[in-house]
Structures are given as C-alpha cells and as structure tokens.
C-alpha cells in the first residue's frame, strides 16, 4: 500500500544510519558494532537511581563473526 508522507526535516544522519520513509523492499546494514556496558550504563532521564551491589561486564566472546554483512550491497 503506498504511503503518503508530508514534510520531513532531517538535521543529521550518522555514518551507518537508515532513514526510511514510505514503502521499502529491503533494508540491510553496511556496518556492525558490538557494545559492552555495565548495569545502568544507558539509563537516561531525570532523577535516575540505579542500585547495583556488584556489577561486572563479561567481554569474552568466542565467536569469530557475529553478523555477516559481506553480501549487503
């Protein structure tokens, strides 16, 4: 079904961003990233209260490849 889209203002897009309006056949990533963070790392907002007794982040990853993007063109 066709999409009817009004005005869209884009200020910035990152290097591996996807900006999608309307119908699309396929969207595939051209970059991947892996992020390690501890408990409460990505909390945002007013008056965030995080109570962590012991927090540790396991960064051991035995996989060689997590997501193959070599065929995404």
Give 12-45 pLDDT, tens digit per residue. 888 767 788 777 787 776 777 788 888 878 888 8
pLDDT, tens only, 36-70: 888 878 888 888 888 888 877 888 888 777 777 77
Give me 46's structure tokens: 């007013």
Residue 39's alpha-carbon distances to 29, 44, 45, 47, 53, in angstroms, are 27, 13, 16, 16, 10
Overall pTM > 0.85: no
Work out the number of other CB atoms within 10 angstroms of the CB of residue 39: 13
CB 28 within 8 A of CB 72: yes
Distance of CA 37 to the CA centre of its chain: 14
The percent of residues above 90 in pLDDT, for the chain, comes to 0
């Amino acid at each position: 079904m066709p999409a009817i889209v009004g005005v869209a203002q884009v200020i910035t897009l990152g290097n591996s961003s996807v900006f999608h309006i309307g119908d699309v056949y396929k969207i595939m990533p051209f970059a991947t990233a892996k992020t390690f963070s501890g408990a409460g790392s990505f909390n945002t907002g007013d008056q965030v209260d995080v109570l962590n007794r012991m927090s540790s982040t396991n960064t051991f990853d035995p996989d060689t490849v997590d997501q193959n993007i070599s065929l995404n063109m």
